Amino acid sequence: MAIDYIVNCECEVKKALTQEMLTSKIKAKELAEQIIKNVEAKGKTFNDALKVVVERERDVQGSEPVIIKQTVKEILEEVQELEQYELVCKKCAVSKGEAFGCYKCIHYPISEKAEHWIVRMAQEAMKAGGAAAVPLQMINKFGVSGQSYKNARQAGNSFFQLGEAPAAVTLNNGFLKKKKIDTNQIFELMFNLPILEKEFLLVFLSFSGVMRIVKEEPKLNSEHMMSCKMTDDNEESWLIFDMADHEDDDLTILELNEFFRTLFTAFAMNYTIAIES
């Protein structure tokens, strides 16, 4: 289970498979690989893993998804087609040397540490004000309740390590009047829109707190630094984005870092992002 997202860019792979079929095959491949890993961790063999039967949802082009039963061996045979596209995909600017790098996910359960990480981001955004605080204003203005994530928490810790008690932050900078906002609401705002258009990409990038504008072309001195050129009234400037990973980041935080970096890539290349949560 995961929050899936993909950069909506046309490419040779998506023309051949369609975007829906591509993501379906990637998910199936990841499922098979995880089952093999789990089976081998129990001291059984690779051949034992190939015989495992799983029930999964398969996308059917031009129709509704269907539930099918397959062995792991059958799944691997079905997704083998992906191999012929890997080299082409790695050359894509969106993928950045990674096969099918336009498609990413944030796995459930969301860690407790990551929820507090998002809360700290919200606190810093409130202090910064301006564009950084826009998502917080949107939650208040549009009545984002977080109900979809409240419902998910009722499934125990399958979706959130914190269970039914989300992390919360009390915001007080005039317009919010000490209003309490929790991570259910923040996640619902970020992940419940099926398509993130460019204006929303900019909103969430500003919220991240690691984007700034400079007047001279920057030197990128870390692997996670990215920039894009902006032109306004014949005046050049550059946006710099530096969402770095840290040694103590857990899996959820690393995947959230990658989500924000993908937002910047899409923004810089004038693409949208499709989300399925």
* pLDDT digits 0-9 by tens, 96-155: 889 999 999 999 999 999 999 999 999 999 899 999 999 999 998 899 999 999 999 988
What are the CA-CA distances from residue 107 to residues 30, 165, 168, 259 (Å)?
12, 19, 21, 12
Q: Is the pLDDT of residue 173 over 60?
A: no
Q: Are 144 and 189 in contact (CB under 8 A)?
A: yes
Mean pLDDT of 171-198: 84
Please choose, from the candidates 220, 240, 222, the residue with its C-alpha nearest in 3D space to the C-alpha of residue 230. 240
Work out the pLDDT band at 66, boundaries 50, 70, 90.
Answer: confident
d(CA 121, CA 116): 9
Closest CA to 192 of 141, 147, 134, 230: 147
**pLDDT tens track for 30-52:** 999 999 999 999 999 999 999 99
Report the percent of the chain where pLDDT is more than 70. Answer: 94
Mean pLDDT, the chain, rounded, equals 89
Q: Which residues contact 210 (CB under 8 A, 6 or more apart)?
A: 241, 242, 243, 260
Work out the number of other CB atoms within 10 angstroms of the CB of residue 250.
14
Taking the alpha carbons of 214, 217, 222, 225 in that order, is the dihedral positive or negative? positive
If we measure between CA atoms, which residue out of 254, 259, 238, 213 comes closest to residue 101?
Answer: 259
Output the pTM of the full model. 0.87
Do the beta carbons of residue 273 and residue 266 sit within 8 Å? yes
